Chains A and B, each alone.
Chain A
Amino acid sequence: MDIKQRTQIYNNLCSFARKCIYSILSVATLPNHIAFIMDGNRRYSKQHNLVDGEGHKVGYSSLMSMLRYCYELGVKYVTVYAFSIENFKRSPEEVRSLMDLMEEKIEGLIKEESLVNQYGVRVHFAGNLKLLSKPVRLAAERAMKATAKNSKAVLTICIAYTSTDEILHAVEECCEEKRDDVKVSNDGKYEKDVINVVDIERHMYMAVAPDPDIIIRTSGETRLSNFLLWQSSNCLLCTQSVLWPEIGFRHLVRAILEFQHKLYYLNKQKQT
């Protein structure tokens, strides 16, 4: 038996084991929307003495694995924090290398044999896309268009995103929309508030998905770093000490088990 055959058998065994675990997890409610903060790529690079930027490439394959596990399990919405507006503060070389990597990987998503087409995933890019370089922005628009007909699951990639920018953008869009709705009384006084919470939520970049059920952050950090702050009111915040490139199936299972364990309380919070 050569290496290829052994690897194939090993992969088949892992796939079968995963399916057994999915069957057990599926007894109870599964999360509808999982979000990931992919932290730890640079630390991984340093720890393994890799060239700068290699950690992100390894992180990308971890992302593909996690997406595969989520979609196999039947989680309909997955959101990932790929690039924050604050990350533009990094060195120009690092930002350029990240943009190049993103452009390359976004183009990969559109290919026929890619994971998103395999699982019927519709891709959205959430964020202030005007801040991106033109090639990345165009690639993102192409990917959204190419996957628009997919309807089994949704992948939202947060790029040039921060929650505060998202809220500000939604407020601005509301103001533009309501411009003609304003009612001014006879003495010129502005009558009532025209913008409410529902209006703002309608204009959020993340309006394409329901609120997340779980946010998983790797590298042991306990903050959200301006990610989904508005949408995480009733969300289980999971911190795992593993670095993103080292994340595996067992970490996802741990998060889902914790979610199922606390489901009654989380559902109660959603109803208040």
Chain B
Amino acid sequence: MDPVAESQKFFRRISQSSNIMLFLLWHVVHLILSVLYIVREIFRAIENYLITNGYVKTYTNLNLDRVKYLGIVIDSDEARNTSKVVELLEWLSALGVKKLCLYDREGVLKKSKAVFMERFGSTENSVAGPLVSKKRMDFEFVSITDGKEAVAKAANLLFKKYYVDGDSEKPFFTEAHLTDALKTLGAVEPDPDLLLIYGPVRCHLGFPAWRIRYTEMVHMGPLKYKKLGLIMKAIHRFTKVKQNYGS
């Protein structure tokens, strides 16, 4: 019996058992985490019930004036479920939201634009008549191509204007120059004040970087579990936020 080989075998067995133990412990920890997430969802459902049935007086009078521009980020897979998106828009329209920015990474919402415009759009072509004028909303549809690629296009515009054309003298570049170049490309809407994120994770999924400097981002969970009461809570919370903007 070779003692060295025996000891190596022994330590390998201990290492394998400790690896199995760690593996099991990791799964136990994540199982506990999953249970905690479920418990949190139950509490959110109860909270939603209380808010939507008027038991919580704090959220009854929402000051929507502070939310000048609301942004909604939806996971692209969930965005394909147009009926759920329409339901969400109906809630927002009922709350009194007039202007909305809809974002999903792949541009699924852009493709369904006609459906939303027909139902909620404030143009003359909309089917909804004057009786439902309260439901009219202005939309902006954004996807990933309006982010980094738009900045690259704006960079090319600036390059052409100040480096290629012999007449113009290159100025001291400021953020205003890039903002103007982006406006020329169609990014005329303001920055959203509040971004509601519908998806499994709190992640803005590539929303145009130039427009979310000081945007409050609230994770609302997956779109299929959306809750009106939690939208009211998020908007109410936003109206209470005090921003220093760095100072």
Contact = CB atoms under 8 A, between A and B. Distances in A.
Contacts of B25: 24, 27
A171 B164 contact: no
A182 B156 contact: no
Interface in B123-181: 144, 147-149, 151-156, 158-160, 162-165, 173-175, 177-178
B64 interface: no
A163 interface: yes
A96 interface: no
A168 B178 contact: yes
B30 A175 contact: no
Interface residues of A, number: 59
B243 to A, nearest CB: 8
A80 interface: no
Contacts of B206: 233-234
Q: Of residues B158, B173, B246, which shows the largest number of chain A Cβ atoms within 10 Å of its Cβ?
A: B246
Contacts of B178: 164, 167-168, 171
A257 B110 CA distance: 34
Interface stretch (B2-10, B84-92, B208-216): B208-216
B163 A193 contact: no
B106 interface: yes
A86 interface: yes
Nearest to A169: B173
B230 interface: no
A24 B22 CA distance: 5
Given A223-B214, A269-B205, A27 B148 contact: no
A272 to B, nearest CB: 6
Interface stretch (A44-52, A61-69, A151-159, A194-202): A194-202
Contact of A269 (B105, B156, B159): B105
Interface in A163-185: 163-165, 167-168, 171-172, 174-175, 178-179, 182, 184
B46 interface: no
Contact of A172 (B173, B213, B216): B173
Given A24-B26, A232-B204, A237-B203, A193 B175 contact: no
A184 B164 CA distance: 8
B33 interface: yes
Contact of A265 (B33, B154, B200): B200
B149 A89 contact: no
A9 interface: no
Q: Which 3 A-B pairs have the closest CB atoms?
A: A86-B246, A229-B209, A89-B247
